[in-house]
Structure 1
């Protein structure tokens, strides 16, 4: 039984991951901004079982606030002991064309999606040193290919791949594995809020693929983390983008009727 900290754990992928962790007997600390939604998530996850509820701890905190995340990790450690794994799932998306989106909305996505992950990792790594541990960073398929109307989201999710690679190199000698996953559209409350704001050109590009169920995505994430896989991709298209990068992106441009990039 290990202690796993899940950010963004009040809904969506984070909530589904937490459910699976509890199912196999782990202790789970959930971090999210909204205290009421966290409390509701805890009730849902407990399934009315006292023993299961006893393995759930909730801590309201905004991952963009480094000090708040550190305090949350300290509280979680006091409750359940050393954090052995982190699933950094907290994130936001606010689709808008670059010139139509104000700078504050752009910066907010960078702050939560990128800085929020680094804050979360920084809060748990000291406790893992000398004991080993696992870090799973939840990026997105948007971290593999540029999508119109998603400049801030893509920028933040692309950057996580570099963060994961650097952390992996630094933490290998400490016995801490660092993984990153790139989920496609997933049936979450965030997707419901996002779709009405999605520009038509983005929908034409990515909307043909049926969104995945959260439970399916969560199972793949945990399986990859358990195996210490560096990267977890979902489906052939995202796997090609993950392995072949710009070459695969050029192929998809052609499929959309564009011309291949030459430089």
Structure 2
């Protein structure tokens, strides 16, 4: 039976993906920091579904603990067949105001946390000659956004990791994918928006938020089809495909809008 491991699986996109796989009857393992949230997710997912749900608490930024959590889940549910790396954090702030700790934490969770989870399952996937890995980046991994220097850095870096790993993994029978969701209606989004600079909204407001269920459905379908890069809507598709060609025009357009906003808000 297929075993799906999801980091950041107790809420948001990760939990929505888990619902789809549990409904299919798969074994699903959720990994997140908070045991209370994991237990609540486990109970909710078991209701009316065929699949088995396992949980393990771990901070993905710590390679040893996330590795131990995944091994514990595999001991109960078998080797990981599909890995979804959706654990992530965002702390909007102008770069000059952001503490070193907050900047480094976003890199540690969003980038290194995904790498740690991949490392925990990659060798056995290669040895078995099969496996699927989905890295969850962001629309902020396609365009730089004021107030999101750390977050953009972590999400841009995931693409480079995914592209390199894809080339290494494909001959071994392992599929690597990366997706770039827009703002998604989750509890984290509400908290983030309270701290979001107005300049960032000029860019991020171009794309309407998706529901976690819509994003999850899009991701799972793409995984089923073995696609590498997954975008959500025409705006993000255009950014993903064309931004490198038209970067000066994009920068000029948003720079003008931000200058206008700043003139309006200046005392």
- The TM-score, its normalising length taken from structure 2, stands at 0.92
Contiguous gaps of at least 5 residues in structure 1: none
CA distance in 1: counterparts of 2:119 and 2:112, whole angstroms = 10
Tell whether the 8 Å contact from 2:33 to 2:59 is kept in structure 1 after alignment.
Answer: yes
Tell whether the 8 Å contact from 1:145 to 1:249 is kept in structure 2 after alignment.
Answer: no
CA distance in 2: counterparts of 1:238 and 1:190, whole angstroms = 21
2:201 paired residue among 175, 200, 203: 203
Aligned to 1:228: 226
Q: How large is the Cα RMSD of the aligned pairs?
A: 1.5
CA distance in 1: counterparts of 2:175 and 2:238, whole angstroms = 24
Equivalent position SS for 1:258: helix
CA distance in 2: counterparts of 1:250 and 1:28, whole angstroms = 44
- State the Cα distance separating 1:177 from its structure 2 match: 0.4
* Cα deviation digits, residues 98-118 of structure 1 (max 9, x gap): 000010000000000000000
- State the Cα distance separating 1:178 from its structure 2 match: 0.2
Is 1:150 the counterpart of 2:148? The answer is yes
Tell whether the 8 Å contact from 2:231 to 2:237 is kept in structure 1 after alignment.
Answer: yes
- The 1:9/1:218 distance shift into structure 2, 3 A limit, reads same
* Cα deviation digits, residues 196-225 of structure 1 (max 9, x gap): 000010012212432101111000001111
CA distance in 2: counterparts of 1:97 and 1:89, whole angstroms = 25
Figure out how many residues of one structure are paired with residues of the other and give that number: 256
- State the Cα distance separating 1:174 from its structure 2 match: 1.1
2:89 paired residue among 79, 87, 92: 92
Tell whether the 8 Å contact from 1:241 to 1:249 is kept in structure 2 after alignment.
Answer: no
- State the Cα distance separating 1:249 from its structure 2 match: 3.9
Aligned to 1:35: 35
Equivalent position SS for 1:204: helix
